[in-house]
Amino acid sequence: MVQWLQCNDEADLEVLRKRADAVRSAQVGDDVHLRGLVELSNICARDCLYCGIRAGNASVARYRMSREEVVACARLAVDFGFGTLVLQAGEDPGLTGAVVADLIKAIKQETDLAITLSLGERDLEDLTAWRQAGADRYLLRFETSNRELFRYIHPPRVGQPERDRIEHLGLLRSLGYEVGSGVMIGIPGQSYDDLAQDIELFKGLGLDMIGVGPYIPHQDTPLGKSGGVPLLGVEQQVPNTLVMGLKVVALTRITCPQVNIPSTTALATLDRQTGREQGLNWGANIIMPNLTPVQYRRMYEIYPSKAASTETAEQSRDTALRQIVGLGRVPGRGRGDSKHFQTLNSFKNN
């Protein structure tokens, strides 16, 4: 794994890409499923050292979308033919158990959309209530399997005990969610060994969805300001480049053949022309067009110059469809549930 991560030979990398693309085609087919992304709040109680919407960043204007605004996005997702709505936010104390459960019920009452939540580390009570209200999936990246580095870049919430994200993923699974996780690539202090361990851990956790993307420094964060803490020599430090992101997508596809893998916004941000298509060519099978109303988009600046931050929802959809068709792939129909999850459950039921 480390050798592949360190490989820079173009011919060898093309072998890796082709292998990942063949596994993708054989295991999850040519459908590219579209998940409508709604960034419903940039209010966050945490102070992650890498993230532009961290609590300590006073230069961000904060917002939380209303119930009606989110339901309008759900209607748009249905009109666009999407099968899933992804609700993502900072760890916003205003998004209480009851508020989110009510939102989930309102969307489920009107639509057949699958609902994916990505609302950070929440307690058992909230996660149970949301599952009961109808939420289908949960995304929580463990960010890096290097525990020391994780603790450094992701300090515990003030007044709350430290939570273990890996344990949290087990909790989500036990509640019946389809479970997604992932990492950032090229975090200062992340070694090639760490990244290889991350991919091994994806397999060990039996995930349904895996999202990976290069770490992009934000000037208003401690990690971005310092230009990164020089913890490792150049030989060991993973670079936060597009090609490294693509290698990780390919190795993830080969290691976890049936998972759903998005071609992430971070890849598209590093190369606006081809980043997203390249993700799809290196093993990804999901795109998450952004449905967040334009007036909020710029405020959800987890890193600078985020791709599609000024596009309308229609433009995001049209770009995604053009990219899919241009690659000879097919826009997915229906919810696009995880094949891995279905296989797991059919084993359990027999």
Site string for ligand SAM, 205-234 (x = CB under 6 A): --------x-xx-x----------------
Q: Whole-number minimum distance, CB 131 to ligand SAM, in Å?
A: 17
CA 192 to chain CA mean position, Å: 21
Return the number of the residue (44 or 76) whose C-beta is nearest ligand SAM: 44
- Among the candidate windows 84-92, 109-117, 156-164, 287-295, which touches ligand SAM by CB under 6 A? 84-92
- Among the candidate windows 109-117, 137-145, 189-197, 276-284, which touches ligand SAM by CB under 6 A? 137-145
Return the number of the residue (271 or 324) whose C-beta is nearest ligand SAM: 271
Which amino acid is residue 59, in one-letter code?
S
Return the number of the residue (23 or 287) whose C-beta is nearest ligand SAM: 287
- H-helix or E-strand spanning residue 34: strand 31-41
For residue 185, what are the β-bridge partners? 214
Does position 248 bind ligand SAM by CB under 6 A? no
Within 8 A by CB and 6+ apart from 39, the residues are 88, 89, 290, 292, 296, 297, 300
Looking at residue 262, what DSSP letter applies?
B
Question: Hey, which residues between 52 and 81 contact ligand SAM (CB under 6 A)?
Answer: none
Among 40, 65, 140, 254, interactor with ligand SAM by CB under 6 A: 140
Does position 136 bind ligand SAM by CB under 6 A? no
Does position 282 bind ligand SAM by CB under 6 A? no
Query: Cα separation of 278 and 282, whole Å?
Result: 6
Interface with ligand SAM: number of residues (CB under 6 A): 18
Contact 86, 118 (CB under 8 A): yes
Return the number of the residue (39 or 337) whose C-beta is nearest ligand SAM: 39
Question: Hey, which residues between 170 and 189 contact ligand SAM (CB under 6 A)?
Answer: 184
Among 37, 114, 266, 307, interactor with ligand SAM by CB under 6 A: 266
Within 8 A by CB and 6+ apart from 341, the residues are 178, 208
Please choose, from the candidates 132, 154, 128, the residue with its C-alpha nearest in 3D space to the C-alpha of residue 47: 154
Q: Whole-number minimum distance, CB 147 to ligand SAM, in Å?
A: 16
- Relative orientation angle of helices 97-110 and 124-133, to the nearest 10 degrees: 10
Among 4, 55, 70, 91, interactor with ligand SAM by CB under 6 A: 91
Q: Whole-number minimum distance, CB 278 to ligand SAM, in Å?
A: 17
Among 4, 50, 177, 282, interactor with ligand SAM by CB under 6 A: 50
Query: Cα separation of 38 and 297, whole Å?
Result: 10
Return the number of the residue (136 or 143) whose C-beta is nearest ligand SAM: 143
Q: Whole-number minimum distance, CB 12 to ligand SAM, in Å?
A: 27
Secondary structure of 236-259 in HEC code, one letter for each residue: CECCCCHHHHHHHHHHHHHHCCCC
Return the number of the residue (168 or 329) whose C-beta is nearest ligand SAM: 168
Assign residue 160 a region (left: φ > 0; alpha: ψ between -120 and 50; beta: otherwise): beta
- H-helix or E-strand spanning residue 33: strand 31-41
Return the number of the residue (55 or 76) whose C-beta is nearest ligand SAM: 55
- H-helix or E-strand spanning residue 126: helix 124-133
Among 36, 83, 120, 180, interactor with ligand SAM by CB under 6 A: 120
Residue 212: what are its φ and ψ, rounded to 5°?
Answer: -130, 150
3-state secondary structure of 90: coil
Does position 302 bind ligand SAM by CB under 6 A? yes
3-state secondary structure of 143: strand
Applying CB under 6 A, the residues found at the interface with ligand SAM are 50-51, 88, 90-91, 118, 120, 140-141, 143, 184, 213, 215-216, 218, 266, 302-303
